[in-house]
Structure 1
């Protein structure tokens, strides 16, 4: 009986131990599954970040390739213009030299010093203009080549600047926390720094804090107005969402992190609505594009908002607001700077073409003057021949009479020059004696 009870107790105890062991293993498995899901979520988030960075890099590479192609086309255009100008110069030089030699050889043996001086006065401005155009083309070509050389380094500086701005944002977070005015000023400083590094010139391609009035007379002061070639403009307004993002970074509990994310998204949406309601696009004196740019100087905060709400960018776009981080804003500004550089090069090319046309007009006028000079030389030579004929030919010509008087014994103080006397035509009926 005792053995039976002992065996029964042993079986019951074994079953109890087995159930307890199963419960412990199930709890451990649940904890392990939770950790596994957490790690998978973290891995997925990092993969999304990497994909977004890759997309941004591909976008920058595409813009860089387009800019290089534009610069290469401009280089080829300038090279063709330079070659054409040199060819025109050579052709004009040869034609002018041939024309001048032909005129000089056919019309006269020598020019007086006065004629040489007048010719130099006509030719020197022409030569100077040709040298000026050659120097201008070479200067434009050298500038374009130097700008193309530095374009690759500008892309590297863009990446470095993005990292620097991110570091500065983290270091200033605590100092700016809770001070809205200081946050706004800091955002404007970062915006101006990006503009300075973009290559655009203040008060030429962009203005800062320019006062404007709407239809009701209210004063509006956008942070920055960037000008496009062609007369259109775009407003850039800096909006800092820093406090909630700092909470997110500092939070250790998941609940606190989610609350901070919600506050951060609410802050960004609030800034979007505020900027949309200002309606800068309706200002008649601004001639703005159909959207404004909202600059978010905290790059990680920008990416956090878009990661947590993928529809946020579309929401802002529907409000005619473009969300811009330091990276993509600098890329956009660089693109605008490239557009302006091409615009200025086109203007220079147009000015070269205009002045070349003026030069050709003056050169054609100069050729007409040379033709007039040749015609006048011909007219003078013809008049001289006619005068010599009147002097030396025909019955009773002055030269024949003078020679006859000299033959009769007159002794003038100066003899008639031989080259003049050679033009006389004897008058047989008057010179022969009567039989």
Structure 2
């Protein structure tokens, strides 16, 4: 728009120069004043051109700074992407470590169970051995002693066996306590192993979901691309459901339903259609390739994927929608800036390939600049509309004020007329031969009256007499 204005000013300057030259050649002495007017107009045009040039330079500088900021954001996004990739690798490593710990814990649990079984067998063997020894000792003592010494020997036997019984009892208590403690530890270990298993399953599930979102699922890629597109629209300054619309539904000239991702509204009821397309799988393989041969192969696949998106979008024939006044092209948005840049650098004819199919490829940087330009146009449009409405309201206000002043003038005339009528009536009431003097004479002549006129009227009447 600014370029057209500058060209128009230059054309005006050139035309003015030739007209001035013609006038100067034909009638220099007679039309000097006209020549001065043209010169003044040329000076004004030169001033306007200088102002427009300065304004354009300021806008270019602002756009350059904004482009730098956008590059910073893109670099941050790439950094976040690499961090997420590293986090995924870290998650996989932690998963492997947890699996190793789980296997070690299972082996430890089996060893503890085997050790516990062996200890049980040892306790049972000790009990049997002690019981057999006790029975042998008792039988020997009974055989050696007579019945008269039974009680005494029994007491002595109790004295001998009591410490041993107490030791055995304490041993049994220790064994039982150890068994209970080991049972508790085993139960806790089982719970911990179960928790580790659950955590491992959750980590595996999250890692799988993340991997699928980044590489495997076309639907997830599409949703992610639409999400990035909506964020750029939010940052552009455009108003949702007023200056742009999501998931817009319409029909084309063949009466087929179409659903572009985004429809951006322009002044004068015009529209631009945007559709997000993600080419990630081949691009990710290209980035992760370990040698040049793999890079070439995956780069070729990446470019082919972009071309397939261009071809598929062109076949949808969005710009022929019945209720949209759109130019005959659609913006194909690639949300990954580096994916866009690599494809463009590798295939110089990719833009022309898209243009031939009425598609324009845009990245986050170029799309944001375009949308902010549209937002600026809308702002100027609204300011223009507001100025027109203000002028209309000012005209209506002036008309109302004029009517009000006219009514005041009528009221003033009516007041003056009423005042004149009042003065005429009061003159008839007062003065020589007026009603006051006549009625007062009647009263003096003997007319009966219960009331008297105000003294101020009588005083004025007396003074006049």
- Place the TM-score, normalised by the shorter chain, in its bin: 0.5 to 0.7
Partner deviation per Cα, 1:62-98 (whole Å, 9 max, x = no partner): 98943999xxxxxxxxxxxxxxxxxxxxxxxxxxxxx
Shift of 1:335: 1.5
Match of 2:441 in 1: 404
Match of 2:265 in 1: 227
Match of 2:416 in 1: 378
Q: 1:228 to 1:164 in 2, by over 3 A?
A: farther
Are 2:244 and 2:263, in contact at CA under 8 Å, matched by a contact in 1?
A: yes
If you compute each CA radius of gyration, which structure gives the higher value, 1 or 2?
Answer: 2
Match of 2:370 in 1: 332
- Where do 1:166-315 residues align within 5 Å? 166-168=78-80, 171=84, 175=212, 176-315=214-353
Are 1:67 and 1:338, in contact at CA under 8 Å, matched by a contact in 2?
A: no
Shift of 1:416: 5.2
Alpha-carbon separation, structure 1, partners of 2:234 and 2:221 = 20
Shift of 1:153: 9.2
- Mapped pair 1:356 → 2:356: no
Match of 2:77 in 1: 165
- TM-score for both structures, normalised by structure 1: 0.57
Are 1:400 and 1:425, in contact at CA under 8 Å, matched by a contact in 2?
A: no
Shift of 1:327: 0.8
- TM-score for both structures, normalised by structure 2: 0.54
Structure 1 gap segments, 5+ residues each: 1-61, 70-150, 428-435
CA RMSD of aligned residues (A): 3.3
Q: 1:157 to 1:347 in 2, by over 3 A?
A: farther
Shift of 1:202: 1.9
Structure 2 gap segments, 5+ residues each: 1-54, 86-209
Q: 1:66 aligns with which of 49, 52, 59?
A: 59
Shift of 1:303: 0.8
Question: Relative CO higher for 1 or 2, CA cutoff 8 Å, sep ≥ 6?
Answer: 1
Q: State the SS of the aligned residue for 1:227.
A: strand
Alpha-carbon separation, structure 2, partners of 1:63 and 1:158 = 21
Are 1:293 and 1:323, in contact at CA under 8 Å, matched by a contact in 2?
A: yes
Are 2:262 and 2:274, in contact at CA under 8 Å, matched by a contact in 1?
A: yes
Match of 1:126 in 2: none
Q: 1:67 to 1:391 in 2, by over 3 A?
A: farther
Match of 2:49 in 1: none
Match of 2:156 in 1: none
Alpha-carbon separation, structure 2, partners of 1:375 and 1:177 = 89
Q: 1:66 to 1:411 in 2, by over 3 A?
A: farther
Shift of 1:179: 2.4
Partner deviation per Cα, 1:17-52 (whole Å, 9 max, x = no partner): xxxxxxxxxxxxxxxxxxxxxxxxxxxxxxxxxxxx
Are 2:251 and 2:322, in contact at CA under 8 Å, matched by a contact in 1?
A: no
Alpha-carbon separation, structure 1, partners of 2:398 and 2:360 = 50
Alpha-carbon separation, structure 2, partners of 1:152 and 1:361 = 49
Shift of 1:257: 1.9
Partner deviation per Cα, 1:339-381 (whole Å, 9 max, x = no partner): 2222333333333333333332222222222212211110111
